[in-house]
Structure 1
Amino acid sequence: MKPTTHTISIEQPRAVLVSLITPQIKRQETYAPDYSLAELVSLAETAGVEVLATLTQNKENIDSKWFVGKGKAEELKQLLEEHDANTAIFDQELSGAQVRNLEQFLDVKIIDRTQLILDIFAQRAKTREGIIQVELAQLSYLLPRLAGQGKNLSRLGGGIGTRGPGETKLETDRRHIRDRISELKQQLQEVMRHRTLHRERRKKTGVFQVALVGYTNAGKSTLLRQMTQADVYVENQLFATLDPTSRTLELPSGKDVVLTDTVGFIQNLPHDLVAAFRATLEEACEADLILHVVDGSSDMMPTQMKVVSQVLRDLEAHQTEQITLFNKVDLCTPEQREMLTTEGEFLRISAYREEDLDRIRELIESRLMGDCKTFRIPAEKGDVISLLYRVGEVLENEVDGNDMLFQVRVNNKEYDKLGYMLAAYASEQALHKGENSEHV
């Protein structure tokens, strides 16, 4: 007799989406109510949720007990019953008490925007670093809400809101969660230490770092794949890729730079998530050049650009030199393409057009390569001479006695980096020979 097998089925999340609009929320510079709700629909679908209906309420203030008004909560209950929905997803962040009250009244799973984004990140994280960061963000979100958690703690059927650390996370008490958070922070510190060492090693070898940043689904991963033949996941969905990917990009002159794809930004990105992913986003902070990839075909393009600019300011990366790439111009009308302008340098491109990729490479090279400098290096200093070839474009070289004279086009930032290695040689040469050649 064959043994009987039992299959545990996870109920498909079927949700009604809820958005509350208050004067305070509307005053947020990057907030657009209709777009935010449409984005919530995309987020829910990305998480594998079947969206059945949406509900919006305009209210003067947030209800401390129900979040929405009691009348709207009753309307939501009827809507959930009509559509046989088992989940309600809110576009704003809820307190633990609000979750408990709504669950008791509605008898469905209650998820807010933050939990939904964290759940998507939990699905996307593949590397050890990404998994640590997601769990840290989830636990940081859960800890202050433990007292208010209602049926969420007992709904162990899986699905949205329960991925990542898993059910055991939901059964632990505050002390255990705090211990786990401390442990994860230590692990993340170790990951950050290794990442910092890799960055320092790249700096010492004179390799330029270029970071791709932008709103989620703007086409960053597609651009990385097309320019470097990187084996990265590309899909037309929010947060298709999460873990940062770095690949070598060869410029027209033959010089190599490191091109890094960072996690996509989104409006109302959870603060815990920004904090947890700081190690990842530091790639943008440490970059010599930032390529801001913009979905030129999006109706919400100006808002998306503001969100990215705000996150870069929060990371103190807004001072880094930037080039704006208006992507997906092949999806725009000629009139729309003409409207794609911004302050500073920009290109209108399609990530699938090779001639546009060549223009990007040429622009990167022109921005990273700087003025022509003259260097006098002792001929026996092969390591220093090799460094000159790596960090700049050597235009001419000639022998002058026991020294080599180099005419090098080098970026000002790299010129400064050369200082600590060449200062001793330059000072010695200046003292003994009184040369007028430019030294670091």
Structure 2
Amino acid sequence: MTNASDFNLDAELDATSAWENDEFESGYAEPDLDAPDPEDSDDPTTGQLDLAERHQLRRVASLRTELEDITEVEYRQLRLERVVLVGVWTEGTVADAENSMAELALLAETAGSEVLDAIYQRRQSPDPATYIGRGKTEGLAEIVAATGADTVICDGELAPSQLRNLEDRLKVKVVDRTALILDIFAQHAKSKEGQAQVELAQLQYMKQRLRGWGGNLSRQVGGRVAGGAGIGGRGPGETKIETDRRRINTKIAKLRRELKEMKGTRDTKRQERRRHQIPAVAIAGYTNAGKSSLLNRLTGAGVLVEDSLFATLDPTTRRTTTADGRVYTMSDTVGFVRHLPHQLVEAFRSTLEEVADADLILHVVDGSHPDPEGQIAAVREVFAEIDAAGVPEIIVINKADAADPLVLARLRQREPHSVVVSARTGEGIAEALALVEGELPRPSVEFDALVPYSRGDLVNKIHQQGEIGSLEHTADGTRVTGRASEALAGELADFLVSP
């Protein structure tokens, strides 16, 4: 979404050519080498450009030249994409519509744009032709012309026909909420798997929205090879849009094969944890709710923390222990958002399986958000979509230091199985850890064993994988009672004490 500059290459080349051919009239003459040095002059203004000369040095429109003397190079100011937001409100309250538009503005700013204006309307359903109707489209065109906007962002997923009709009427680029979120994901993806997942989602979205300038993509291919279709074509009559769509399908198939191989590596790591009976805790929740901050506070993971939407895409897993020595893992996952694009859910399926396969979910909620209940509902919709609705869940209400106490009390009443914390100050972290340890799955087999001192490794394994009720060092060995998994109980079978 970010434009690196407002620099017009053709205009710059023309200006440079004129300069070299002495045809550039800027009021600036070649310096006279025999002239006295301006620094030796008593006049403090000598050697400084006046206002008119500065304006003449602006060779390209919309570039800002801020010069202190004639020897300095031009400074081109970074210009963000200027956007106007458009929403259609079909259900819910006015506050819901305002929250949705505020979130769209945050998404647009995260993608690297400047929000100039925002409008939304109440309709029974979006207009099938232009999303907002003919009259609203005419008013939007006037706003775009008055503000000089480059792009219009719609708070919903547009059909290809709606996208085309709006661009034809507004004469600027139009993107929908799905394309905006995909753009943010593309900016933040760092790992090879994350980049492949985002590219797959973008291609799936783009395949149905291919469009050329004029009739460019409707032209039929030419050439003499393969019946007039050229090398690699399907024969005479194939259009350019069909060729492009076929190439996209080929790329999608390649990405899916690569992701399948990466999924195998992830599954191997997950099976290793299962084999050792290590419980898994997944930190999930709305984007920018403080999941990474909470992981750092609970485990000292040291992952990236940023006040930005979708700052974390790649899951991070850390090994930690309970107060009594049991080992478990805690994973940070990608954030969710209202109307999370279906393409992203499909592309990030292997990543989201960390949530579905977890033994416990820490559902992080931003207590300072204007609509925390809406965040909870949106995240639970995604849980249902990835088959994670049956996993035990603890609501962690974060940002207690910035939240309204009345809102916190309301959330605690609505969600009894919850805890209030502040990842920034550390408030409530001890209570949250105690709640997590109490909710971790307990070993199923009770035991009473006398382990000889030569088997210290077995006692250590009981500490890590089991639950110790009592421990006593005797002359014959270590007397241990507690609970263990079936596999660990099998290893202790030779040392069990008869009742």
TM-score bucket (shorter structure): 0.7 to 0.9
TM-score by length of 2: 0.72
Structure 1 position 107 matched with structure 2 position 171: yes
- CA gap of 1:349–1:150, structure 2 versus 1, over 3 A, is farther
Aligned to 2:288: 217
Is 1:296 matched with 2:360?
Answer: no
The separation in 2 between residues aligned to 1:401 and 1:185, in whole angstroms, is 61
Instruction: Pick closer, same or farther for the CA change 1:85–1:204 going to 2, 3 Å.
Output: same
Q: Which residue of 2 aligns with 1:89?
A: 153
- 2:388 equivalent to 1:334: no
Amino acid at match of 1:365: E
Q: Is the 8 A contact 1:323 1:344 kept in 2?
A: no
The corresponding residue for 2:486 is 419
Query: TM-score, structure 1 length as denominator?
Result: 0.81
Q: Which has the higher helix share?
A: 1
Does 2:481 match 1:407?
yes
* Deviation by residue 1:192-248 (Cα, 9 ceiling, x = unmatched): 111111111122233221111111111111111222222222122211211111122
The letter of the residue matching 1:51 is: V
| Residue 15 (structure 1) aligned with residue 83 (structure 2) | yes
Q: Which runs of 5+ in 1 are unaligned?
A: 155-169
Is the 2:363–2:394 Cα contact (8 Å) retained in structure 1? yes
Q: Contact conserved, 2:185 with 2:198, CA < 8 A, in 1?
A: yes
Q: Residue 203 of structure 2 aligns with which residue? A: 139
Higher relative contact order, chain-length normalized (CA < 8 Å, sep 6+): 1
Superposition deviation, residue 369 in structure 1: 6.3
Aligned to 1:160: none
Aligned residue number for residue 167 of structure 1: none
Between the aligned partners of 2:180 and 2:140, the Cα distance in structure 1 is 19
List gaps (5 residues or longer) in structure 2. Answer: 1-19, 21-72, 218-240
Pairing of 1:133-212 with structure 2 (within 5 A): 133-146=197-210, 148=211, 173-212=244-283
Choose 104-113 or 350-359, whichever is displaced more.
350-359
Shift of 1:359: 1.9
**In structure 2, C-alpha distance between the alignment counterparts of 1:228 and 1:19, rounded to whole Å:** 41
Asked whether the 8 Å contact 1:91–1:112 carries over to 2, the reply is: yes
Q: CA deviation at 1:345?
A: 2.0
Length, aligned pairs only: 400
| Partner-residue secondary structure (3-state), 1:325 | strand
Residues 149 and 100 of structure 1, relative CA distance in 2, 3 Å threshold = farther
Over alpha carbons, which structure has the higher Rg?
2
Partners of 1:34 and 1:198 in 2: CA distance: 43
Q: Percent identity?
A: 39
1:150 Cα deviation after fit: 5.6
Are the equivalent residues in 2 in contact too, given 1:15–1:52 (CA < 8 A)? yes
Q: What SS is found at the alignment partner of 1:122?
A: helix
2: CA distance, partners of 1:6 / 1:53: 31
Task: Say if 1:317 and 1:395 are closer, same or farther in 2 by CA, change over 3 A.
Answer: same
Q: Tell me what 2:99 maps to.
A: 35
Distance in 2 (CA, whole Å) between partners of 1:136 and 1:377 is 56
- Superimposed CA distance per residue, residues 8-28 of structure 1 (whole angstroms, 9 cap, x where no aligned partner): 998631011111223xxx27x
Residue 263 of structure 1 is aligned with which of 334, 344, 359? 334
Q: Distance in 2 between matches of 1:368 and 1:47?
A: 39
- Paired with 2:366 and 2:356, the residues of 1 have a C-alpha distance of 22
Mean Cα displacement is larger for which, 43-52 or 304-313?
304-313
Does structure 2 conserve the Cα–Cα contact (< 8 Å) formed by 1:376 and 1:403? no
Once the two structures are TM-superposed, the CA of residue 256 in structure 1 deviates from its matched residue by 3.3
1:97/1:149 contact within 8 Å kept? no
Whole-angstrom distance in 2 between the partners of 1:115 and 1:195: 28
Match of 1:364 in 2: 436
